[in-house]
Amino acid sequence: MTVISDVLQDSEIFSDLPAEALDRLAAAAHSRTAKQGDLIFHQDDPASLFFLVLSGRVRLIQHTIDGKDVTMATFVPGDAIGLVVAVTGQIYPGSAEVIEDAELLALSGELMWQFMNEHAALAVRILRLVAARLHESQNRIRELSAERVQQRIARSLLRLAQQLGVKETGGAIRLDVRLSRQDLAQMNGTTLETVSRTLTAWEREQIVDAAREQVIILKPHNLVLIAEDLPS
Least distance CB 164 / DNA (angstroms): 17
What amino acid occupies position 133? R
Contact 231, 222 (CB under 8 A): no
Contact 25, 115 (CB under 8 A): yes
Site for DNA in 202-221 (CB under 7 A): 210, 212-213
Distance (Å, rounded) from C-alpha 165 to C-alpha 93? 27
**Cα angle: 200, vertex 201, 204; to 5 degrees:** 90
| Cβ partners under 8 Å of residue 71, min gap 6 | 59, 60, 61, 183, 186, 187
Q: Which of 182, 209, 220, 222 binds DNA (CB under 7 A)?
A: 182
Q: Which of 18, 30, 36, 124 binds a second copy (CB under 8 A)?
A: 124
Q: Please choose which of DNA, a second copy, none residue 137 contacts, taking the beta carbon within 5 to 8 angstroms, the exact cut-off set by kind.
A: a second copy
As beta bridge partners, residue 70 has 62
- Of 72 and 154, nearer to a second copy (C-beta) is 72
Distance of alpha carbon 90 from the chain centroid? 20
Q: Contact region for DNA (CB under 7 A) — 2-10, 70-78, 125-133, 195-203?
A: 195-203
In the complex, which residues of this chain contact a second copy (CB under 8 A)? Answer: 62, 64-66, 68, 70, 72, 84-85, 87-88, 90, 93-94, 113, 116-124, 126-128, 130-131, 133-135, 137-142, 144-147, 186, 188-189, 228-229
Contacting positions for DNA (CB under 7 A): 148-150, 180-182, 189-194, 196-197, 199-200, 210, 212-213
